[in-house]
Amino acid sequence: MALTTAVQPTTTTRNRVPVTATAAARTRARRAQRAWDVNVVVAVNAILVVGLWVRHGGLDSLGAPGATFTAIGQLTGLLGTYAVLIELLLMSRIGWLERWIGFDRLTVWHRWGGFSAVTLLVAHAVFITLGYADSAGASVPGQIADFIRHYPDVLMSIVGLALFLAVAVTSVRAARRRVSRETWYSVHLYAYLAVALSFAHQLSVGTDFSNDALARAWWVALYVAVFAAILAWRVGRPLAFNARHRLRIQRVQREADGVVSVYVSGRKLDRIRADAGQFFLWRFLQGTGWTKAHPFSLSGAPNARFLRITVKDLGDDTRRMQRLRPGVRVFAEGPYGTFTATRRTTSKVVLIGGGIGITPLRALLQTLPDKPGDVMLLYRAATEGDIAFRSELEVFARRGVDVRLLVGTEIGDDETDQLGVPALRRLVPDITTRDVYLCGPPPMLNAVLRRLVALRVPPSRIHYERFEY
Ligand SMILES: Cc1cc2nc3c(=O)[nH]c(=O)nc-3n(C[C@H](O)[C@H](O)[C@H](O)COP(=O)(O)OP(=O)(O)OC[C@H]3O[C@@H](n4cnc5c(N)ncnc54)[C@H](O)[C@@H]3O)c2cc1C
């Protein structure tokens, strides 16, 4: 009975209204406009950065080796610092930026932008040292010793660069696999310290700013804008959200082996502007649970009475979450993600879920049209005991959703797997004319993505959520 209630909330919310392909197209157009605005702001400031360097004689310096090295060092320093500021902005969780680009894509941009920024900053250090050494007729070690002895701001920036390098090294995939998520995250926080340590030398010894009040004011304004965004979106907004909604666990319900649904209630839940398919970062104030935020997708469209997430025991914290108790305070940050019905381009949809990847798809079922034949769900679970939401899926099946349960583990073979190319062709003969929503463990997700490409599903119709970052 309770499960049926979860599928059919008695209170009407905007999420109960199916998102048509036309409405989805309008939302995408609005996002594209914002994308344009953001690109313009980033490009204009990048041009200003290069213009600043030209204005202060960057181009004129190219000629003698020492002056050329210094000029290149100045340009890479300016661009590297600008890239760091954009990096901070990308991860400041600005709601509309995240809705436009998507958390997963932002993470990829952040990753590659981060490596580019650190490369530029290392180039800056190398070229400036070579340039100054050449101009002063000193050796490279002698020049470094001079920086350390006579320029305290430069010494701080050297420490800052070492911290940036530590962030980059721990983010290289091979290293990332060896260090725990906590270590990687803690080292990442040092990037803020690195930004602070390198700031002073830009104004005190940077030729572009030390004698140009206007340039200095613009540069400081960029820093202020970025840190204001971080404070507003990473601190202010979550605090205000949680003060307004006062979230608490209402009940915890077993769904499958090692899987529980956590129902979260609170005040004014109807005001939460979240959509089915999105996720929040959750902290449960039980034991040590408040120390770490974990991403979990909503496993039902939000309604005025509760938010629901469904958690699989995959590690230490998710194991503890299986024992959460009603009444426990909850701190949530979000909503995030663009894995929503507004991504649709056509009326027909196939949802493909593997394991706990079923959660956002289960929520999406509530916002997709019920017309028989339009919506299909392929849900793969390793064993019968791993199938979650069984009775809820039966309700959707009775309404016309074509639900197929595929039991068995991924075997990774594109030809013989239950979600291999021939199987997908047989199960969904019109797959190239449907939007495909995909969510599952990374190996399964990557394999199915590869097979969708082989089946010639247009990339614009493939939407996926990756449960890792
Ligand atoms: C956008 C998104 C939505 C998700 N939705 C769900 C969901 O609805 N239900 C569900 O059960 N799981 C979901 N996950 C996965 C879930 O966040 C992780 O399983 C959980 O954080 C693991 O924590 P742990 O400490 O128990 O495990 P650990 O032992 O720390 O790690 C187990 C695995 O989870 C990954 N992981 C650990 N912490 C995080 C973190 N903070 N962020 C991302 N990955 C992490 C690790 O890299 C590792 O692969 C989602 C992940 C993402 C990125």
Which of 291, 389, 468, 469 to mutate for ligand 1's pocket (most ligand atoms within 8 Å of CB)?
A: 468
pLDDT, tens only, 205-217: 877 888 889 999 9
User: Among the atoms of ligand 1, which is closest to the Cα of residue 360?
Assistant: 8
Q: Could you tell me the pTM of the whole model?
A: 0.85
Residue 377 predicted with pLDDT over 70: yes
| CATH H-level, domain 246-336: superfamily | Translation factors (2.40.30.10)
User: Who wins on pLDDT, 18 or 151?
Assistant: 151
Which atom of ligand 1 is closest in space to residue 293's alpha carbon?
Answer: 41
Pocket residue to mutate for ligand 1, from 181, 279, 322, 439, most atoms within 8 A of Cβ: 181
Q: How far is CA 367 from CA 277, 341, 456, in A?
A: 9, 7, 26
Tokens describing residue 358: 């079923």
Dist CA 277 CA 243 (whole Å): 24
Q: Does residue 28 sit in helix, strand or coil?
A: helix
Query: If you ran DSSP here, which 8-state letter would residue 234 be given?
Result: I
The CA–CA distances, whole Å, from 2 to 8, 210, 289, 306, 330 equal 10, 67, 27, 13, 22
Joined tokens for residue 415? 């030809």
Kindly indicate the confidence band of residue 16, based on its pLDDT and cuts at 50, 70 and 90.
Answer: very low
DSSP 340-401: SGGG--SS-EEEEEEGGGHHHHHHHGGGS---TTTEEEEEEESSGGG--SHHHHHHHHHHT-
Q: Which residues of 386-413 are buried (b: 16+ CB within 10 A; e: fewer)?
A: bbbbeebbebbeeeebbbeebeeebeee
What is the Cα–Cα distance from 113 to 79, expressed in whole angstroms? 12
Rounded to whole angstroms, the Cα distance separating 188 from 171 reads 9
Q: Which residues line ligand 1 (CB under 6 A)?
A: 181, 279, 294-297, 309-312, 314-318, 356, 359, 465, 467-469
Under DSSP, the state recorded for 298 is B
d(CA 256, CA 66): 68
Q: What φ, ψ does residue 447 adopt, rounded to 5°? A: -65, -45
CA distance 336 to 469: 13
Instruction: Note the pLDDT of residue 230.
Output: 94
Helix, strand, coil percent values for the chain (each to nearest 5): 60, 15, 25
Residue 121 has pLDDT above 70, yes or no: yes
Ligand 1 atom having least distance to the Cα of 185:
41
Test site for ligand 1: of 314, 319, 339, 437, most ligand atoms within 8 A of the Cβ: 314
The phi-psi region of residue 230 (left if phi > 0; otherwise alpha if psi is between -120 and 50; otherwise beta) is alpha
User: Residue ranges per domain, the chain?
Assistant: 22-240, 246-336, 342-466
Q: Which residues are paired to 437 by β-bridges?
A: 351, 463
What are the pLDDT digits (tens) for 59-94?
A: 888 888 889 999 999 999 999 999 999 999 988 888
Point out the ligand 1 atom lying closest to the alpha carbon of residue 281: 41
9 pLDDT tier (thresholds 50, 70, 90): very low
For ligand 1, atom 36, name the residue with the nearest CA: 468
**Averaged pLDDT, 320-343:** 93
Is residue 49 over pLDDT 80?
Answer: yes
- pLDDT at position 288, please? 80
Q: How far is the CA of 469 from the centre of ligand 1 (A)?
A: 9
Going 150 to 155 to 156 to 157, the CA torsion angle's sign is positive
Asked if 364 contacts 351 with a C-beta cutoff of 8 angstroms, the reply is yes
Residue pair 324/260 in contact (Cβ under 8 Å)? The answer is yes
Q: What distance, in Å, lies between the first and last C-alpha atoms of the chain?
A: 36
Report the pLDDT value the prediction gives residue 41, as an integer from 0 to 100: 86
Cβ atoms of residues 9 and 305 within 8 Å = yes
- Selected from 3.40.50.80, 3.30.1330.90, 3.60.150.10, 2.60.120.650, the CATH number assigned to the domain covering 342-466 reads 3.40.50.80
How far does residue 295's CA lie from ligand 1's centre (Å)?
6
